[in-house]
Amino acid sequence: MLVDHFFRHESGKMVSVLTKIFGSQNVDLAEDVVQDSLIEAMEYWQYHDVPDNPSAWLFRVAKNKALNIIHREKYKRQYSNEAAYLLSSGEQSEPADPFSEREIQDDQLRMIFTCCHPSISADSQVALSLKTLCGFSIPEIARAFLTTETNINKRLVRARQMIRDEKIPFEVPKGKDLELRIQAVLETIYLLFNEAYSATKGNDVIRFELCQEAIRLAQMLENENTIKQKGDIFALLSLMFLNTSRFRARQDQEGNLLTMGEQNRLLWDRKLQASGFEYLQKATENTVTGTYYILAAISANYCLAPDYNSTNWENILTLYDCLVEMDHSPVVLLNRAIVLSKITGAQKGLLELERIKNEPQIRTYHLFHSTQAEFFIELGEFEMAISSLIVAAKWAPLESIRVLLKKKISYCKEKISCDSSF
C-alpha cells in the first residue's frame, strides 16, 4: 500500500525538478508531464502491483517523458541550461543527478520561492503553490476555497503569466534578499492556512488536509540549512499546529461553528498540540517577537486552560497589547475587546467597541455586531442586543450563521417578555 498522499507529494517533487529542467517559464509543461506520468503509473500498477520503489519508477517515467519533449520541441521552446545538460549527459548523469534526494529537496525550495514571489498576487500564489507543490487538482482547490474551477484556473493562468513576463527565476534568493523573501513566503503559507482553517462550510476533509499542507510547506523551510534565522518559521509552525489541534472540535454535528467556550476539549488533538508547544519553545529560544509568535502564544494560552472559564485572560490581554502595537487593525482591536471584557466586564468591552465602530471594515463585519450583542446580553440589555443581532445577521456571510443569530434574537425576545410579565 502506498503511503498517504504519496501521489500528491510525489507530484510536487516532480513538478519542482522538471521546472528546473524546463525553466520556470515552462512550469505548465512540467505540470503536464507529471500528470501524464502519474496516469501512466496508475494504469500500469492497476494490473500488476505497486513496485518496490514507486518513487523511482515515477521519476524514471517522468525523466523519459521530459527527454522526449526536449528532443521533440528543441526549437519551439526555450529551456534552461539544465535541459541541455540533461540532454548531453543522458542516462549517465552520475555526478549531479537532478533526481537525487538532495536535488529534489533543493528544487522544492526553489519552487516555494518562485510560487510565492511578491510580484504574483496573493491568491494566485496560494493557488499555484497548491497546484504545483502540493499536487492538488483545480476542482479540489476550488472546493476547498468555496469558489469555482474557472476562478481557480484564472488565478493559475495569471500566476504563470507573471512568472513568464517578470522572468521570475527558479532560485532561492541569497543574502539580505532571502530574509525579506522568507517573510513573503510565510505570509502566503499563513494565508493558505487561514483560508483553509477559517472557512465555515465546505468539505471538512479537504480543508484539514490543506492545513496539513501549509504545515508541510513551512517544514520544508525549517529543514533548509541555508536559512539561518528560523524564529518566525518556528513561530508560524507553532501557531498552525496549535490551531490545527482544535480543528475537529470547532463544529457541532450539524456543521455549525462553535466558539472556544462551546468546544468539547476532549476533541482537541493533544499530539498536534505537543508539536505546537515544541515549536513555541524553539521560537522562544530564537527570541522572536513577531506577529506569528504572539498569535501562537495566545493560541497556546487557550490550549493550556482545562476549561474555558479558567482561561488565563490576563496573560492573553498582555499578548494582545503587544499585538496591537504591531498590528493596529480593527479586527485585532475587536478581539482584544473580547478578552478585556473577560477581565473588566462587558461595559468596558462595549466602550472599546465604540472606538472602532466607524472603521469601514468593521461596520460590515458580522462578528463585530454579534460581539456587541453578546456584551449587551451580559448586561441584560436585550433590546439593544436585538438591534445588534439584526445588523449582524444582515452581514453574516453564511446561512448557518444567520440561523444561529436568529436563535439568539428569539432568546432575547423571550427574556424581554419574561421581564415584562413580572
Partner 1 sequence: MKEFMLLIRNEGDGKSALSPEQQQKFLNDCMVYIQNLIKDGKLKGAQPLVREGKMISGRPGAFKDGPYNESKEIIVGYYHIIAKDMDEAITIAKGNPEFSYIKGARIEVRPIKTVEESTSFVYPKGE
* Interface residues toward partner 1, by CB under 8 A: 1-2, 5-8, 10-11, 35, 38-39, 42-50, 135-137, 139-140
Closest C-alpha to 33, from 70, 81, 78, 87: 70
C-alpha cell at 401: 450563521
Q: 5 or 342: whose CB is closer to partner 1? A: 5
Q: 131 or 155: whose CB is closer to partner 1? A: 131
CB of 209 to partner 1, least distance (A): 8
CB of 258 to partner 1, least distance (A): 28
Helix-strand-coil percent breakdown of the chain, rounded to 5?
A: 75, 0, 25
End-to-end CA distance of the chain: 69
CB of 140 to partner 1, least distance (A): 5
CB hemisphere CA count around 226 (13 angstroms): 14
Closest C-alpha to 160, from 118, 195, 191, 125: 125
CB of 10 to partner 1, least distance (A): 8
Closest C-alpha to 399, from 241, 286, 254, 203: 254
C-alpha cell at 43: 494504469
Q: What are phi and psi of 228, to 5 degrees?
A: -90, -45
Q: 135 or 276: whose CB is closer to partner 1? A: 135
Give the whole-angstrom CA distance, residue 112 versus residue 117.
8
Closest C-alpha to 126, from 180, 189, 186: 189
CB of 357 to partner 1, least distance (A): 45
- Exposed/middle/buried for residue 340 (C-beta within 10 Å: 0-12, 13-18, 19+): buried
Q: 11 or 114: whose CB is closer to partner 1? A: 11
Q: 119 or 150: whose CB is closer to partner 1? A: 150
CB of 211 to partner 1, least distance (A): 15
Q: 48 or 174: whose CB is closer to partner 1? A: 48
For residues 172 and 113, the answer to whether their CB atoms sit within 8 Å is yes
In the 8-state DSSP scheme, what is residue 145?
Answer: T
CB of 64 to partner 1, least distance (A): 15
CB of 101 to partner 1, least distance (A): 20
Q: 44 or 85: whose CB is closer to partner 1? A: 44
Q: 127 or 334: whose CB is closer to partner 1? A: 127
Neighbours of 218 (CB within 10 A): 26
Q: 149 or 378: whose CB is closer to partner 1? A: 149
C-alpha cell at 241: 499546529
184-206 exposure pattern, b = at least 16 Cβ within 10 A, e = fewer: bbbbbbbbbbebbbebeeeeeee
C-alpha cell at 307: 476549561
C-alpha cell at 372: 456587541
CB of 48 to partner 1, least distance (A): 7
Measuring CA to CA, how many Å separate 333 from each of 55, 141, 193, 197, 336?
49, 32, 22, 21, 5
